[in-house]
Structure 1
Amino acid sequence: MENSRQQKNLYYFLSARFLATLSTGIMKAGLAWHLYDLTGSKLHLGLLGLFEFIPLVVFALLGGKISDQYDRRKIVLFFNTFMVIATSALGFLDRMGALQIWMIYALVFLFGICRAFFSPAVHAILSNIVQSGHFPKALAMSSSLWQLGVILGPSLAGYIYAAFDSAFWMYNASALLRVFLMFSFFLIVGQNFTAKPTTHSGSIYEGLRYVWKRKVILGVSSLDLFAVFLGSVVAILPAFAKDVLMLDAVGYGTLRSAPGVGAALIAFALAKYPIDKKIGQRLFITAFGFGMSIVALGVCNSFVGAFIALFFMGAFDLVSVVIRQSIVQMRTPDDMRGRVSAVNIVFISASNELGDFEVGVVAQIFGIVPAIIAGGIGTCLVAVVWPLLFPSLRKLNYYTDVEQTVPERNIA
């Protein structure tokens, strides 16, 4: 990162990452509150996750393949353009009183399609900008700004919605921020963001085969899949805030930002003191802490207690994210990063968005609090079982430790 062009590009990338997260935070938190305000249904909140998950699973592998063949910067710009148009249109429809519930789901579905293509490109671009030796620190810096966006986005959504009693300004604020992030990506120049074709350049399923052969990468991806799937509680926070804690839109926005506050503080610490040893042990410890934080949230009946529980949930999750992404990116060649990132995104989407649907269904049937507590316990169990299933990941000391791969003949 000593090169001035790399430093400038990293600055522009981090700015764009922050703006993207801020925009997404406003949109998703605002959508959830707006939808619950319109329907009062926890199942409808869960369906938001399902409608984002379906296109991600369908298109993510193709998105990874495209990311490994074309200019990753242009991919990000192209698909964000669609998000600007769609989000603005939803705002104007709400302003005219013509907004219907299916239109909200349509926006989420479109966001899932766009994310399937631009997310693999974004993950790979950071690896193009910085050298591998600086990657964990750069990732921590990126995560810091990402979490700052996570903090501010939901809070801004709550304040905007409460101040204007309308979703119009909320949707258009999200769209405007995406315009600014596109401008930041325009400024990233002077480096090659297209992977060189090699022996890995082939099928869109090459990423799946690559992950399956490498048990450390498979372990971190599947850990995220099951731990976060069971512990996905953010989707029903509007219901928890409104029906359990009796909060308004501002209170919900503040509560929704609590995980980001905890994550941001940890991210700034990791940027200065990156985790560089006992990687596997620390990953499983943080996963267990994440689950316990969710259990604590379920037994809280006050705003302060819930905020603290969500604060620690975000802090534990951030450490896990930095470790997982560092392992995946540092152990993957550049010409495979798009497809491997796409596989990782499918795992993440299955855990987050499908987890949102799962918790919405469980909350609708059994209640909000039982759904949260059961999810936290399930996450803790995953954190206990996974070290036994993936001993190579448990024993991982350094990111660069050599890993034995599964022979090709074992790959279906």
Structure 2
Amino acid sequence: MSSPFSIPNYRYYWLARLLSMLAGSAMMLIIGWQVYNIARETMSPAESAAQLGLVGLIQFVPLFALTPVTGWIADRLDRRLITRLTLGAQLACAALLGWLTYTDALSLPALFAVAAVLGVARAFAGPAFGALAPNLVPSELLPKAIALSSTAWQVGLIVGPALGGLLHDWQSAAPYALSAVLFAIAILAMSLIGRVPRPEVDRERHPIRQMIDGLSYVRTNRLVLGAITLDLFAVFLAGSTALLPIYARDILRVGSEGLGQLSAAPAVGAALTALLFSFRPIKQGVGTKMLVAVVVFGIATILFGLSTSFPLSLLCLFVVGSADMFSVYVRQSLIQLHTPDAMRGRVGAVSQLTISASNELGDAESGFLAAAIGPVAAVVAGGVGAIAITLLWARLFPQLRLARSFDPPDLSGELRPKETTT
């Protein structure tokens, strides 16, 4: 067995991952576009940028509040059921926004309310999706499975925004209708996944203690802690996606179609990189290469911030996505392989919290900073910050530099679970 695709359960999982990302990325692009344009009808550009930041903040707050609970639930309940329920919630959000858009009843409060619900759904979906993948493939195929899963994720980021922008130009409610259909098919794919091994639940240990265990594991495992927090601070500072509507409308002046291309450019770079790793995974010097990739990510972000050329901006965003995917591939492989299955839901929840903090909260930071000092200065400062954080983390967490390969460690002494079948 040389490919995760030879396993039927993984194929269904991969399809659900792809379709849900297609739907979600198309939705979020249009939500951002609608928020900015509705705000611009009555607000200044700076105030409108702050509204984009508010969208990210609204999505982050429920994730922050629910992280201990979502990780514990992913380790205790059927992970397949959790993913189906959260996909259903996102389907309902897509249908509602489609109806409000079609009937011209859309408003900023409605968009913010749906963003909050999406934040809750993603809070529960992330740990369950992430912890389920290692249950579907043997450990030796896990790096390839992560690369293929990341490919599905990034292909969704490529095609979703492009489709969203094109469909919105044709009919404003069409992107939401497409998202609802894709979420429905994703639910069907998740329903086709058969029985998978699950860790035995320790029912004598208090649930709150189990939640704390996940945080304690991350805190004491220096490699896992360093990998998770590197993403948190680097992407938090250098994230520029929330400001793409500003660049598309006011700086590059390319409209909603150009916005779709700007949103897709980093995903193209990421998808091609993930596809390469699915066939030719890196084997040596993985930690050092990850740190170099984050530095490249910061440099490309700086160049994008300074660019006034649409082709150059697309190229910079392509490099941003490729470097970020390189880092994600190494980081997620190390985290999964250095975490016992009984802890993967809770550790995944902590990882998702930092990812969301770097993305949604980073979007909020970008929007608010752009309102204060301007979008160009905000993006450039973020790129410089990401480089500085990487150099600092290389010293604070030498375990990252010393990670040589993806050889699975011996976790026999770290909460090795018994397996049951569901």
Q: Counterparts of 2:252 and 2:78 in 1: how far apart (Å)?
A: 47
- How many residue pairs get aligned? The number is 402
**Counterpart code for 2:24:** T
Flag structure 2 segments of 5+ consecutive residues without an equivalent.
41-47, 412-422
Q: Which residue of 2 aligns with 1:361?
A: 368
Q: Which residue of 1 aligns with 2:200?
A: 196
CA RMSD of aligned residues (A): 1.9
Q: TM-score, normalised by structure 2?
A: 0.92
Q: Counterparts of 2:179 and 2:158 in 1: how far apart (Å)?
A: 15
Alignment of 1:260-339 (within 5 A): 260-339=267-346
Change in 2 beyond 3 A, CA 1:5/1:388: closer
**Counterpart code for 1:253:** G
Deviations 1:90-127 (A, max 9, x none): 21122222221111011111011111111100001110
Q: Which runs of 4+ in 1 moved over 4 A?
A: 1-6, 198-202, 401-404
Q: TM-score, normalised by structure 1?
A: 0.94
Instruction: Indicate conservation of the 8 Å contact 1:214/1:403, yes or no.
Output: no
Instruction: Indicate conservation of the 8 Å contact 2:338/2:408, yes or no.
Output: no
Deviations 1:15-62 (A, max 9, x none): 111001101110011111111111131111111110000000111220
Counterpart check, 1:183 vs 2:183: no
Shift in Å, 1:180: 0.7
Among 53, 61, 69, the alignment partner of 2:60 is 53
**Counterpart code for 1:283:** M
Instruction: Indicate conservation of the 8 Å contact 2:337/2:409, yes or no.
Output: no
Q: Counterparts of 1:88 and 1:121 in 2: how far apart (Å)?
A: 24
Counterpart check, 1:208 vs 2:215: yes
Q: Which residue of 2 aligns with 1:170?
A: 175
Instruction: Indicate conservation of the 8 Å contact 1:297/1:310, yes or no.
Output: yes
Q: Counterparts of 1:50 and 1:4 in 2: how far apart (Å)?
A: 36
Name the SS for the 1:332 alignment partner.
coil
Among 244, 253, 257, the alignment partner of 1:237 is 244
Shift in Å, 1:3: 10
Q: Counterparts of 2:222 and 2:154 in 1: how far apart (Å)?
A: 29
Shift in Å, 1:337: 0.4
Deviations 1:174-206 (A, max 9, x none): 1111001001101111323x4322598852121
Q: Counterparts of 2:300 and 2:372 in 1: how far apart (Å)?
A: 23
**Counterpart code for 1:24:** G
**Counterpart code for 1:19:** L
Shift in Å, 1:10: 1.0
Name the SS for the 1:257 alignment partner.
helix
Q: Which residue of 2 aligns with 1:14?
A: 14
Q: Counterparts of 1:275 and 1:121 in 2: how far apart (Å)?
A: 27
Q: Counterparts of 1:191 and 1:69 in 2: how far apart (Å)?
A: 14
Q: Which residue of 1 aligns with 2:30?
A: 30
Change in 2 beyond 3 A, CA 1:89/1:385: same
Deviations 1:286-309 (A, max 9, x none): 010000010010111111000000
Instruction: Indicate conservation of the 8 Å contact 1:6/1:129, yes or no.
Output: no
Instruction: Indicate conservation of the 8 Å contact 1:228/1:379, yes or no.
Output: yes
Change in 2 beyond 3 A, CA 1:69/1:401: closer
Instruction: Indicate conservation of the 8 Å contact 1:55/1:112, yes or no.
Output: yes
Q: Counterparts of 1:8 and 1:115 in 2: how far apart (Å)?
A: 25
Change in 2 beyond 3 A, CA 1:4/1:291: closer
Instruction: Indicate conservation of the 8 Å contact 1:216/1:403, yes or no.
Output: no
Q: Counterparts of 1:319 and 1:115 in 2: how far apart (Å)?
A: 23
Q: Which residue of 2 aligns with 1:68?
A: 75
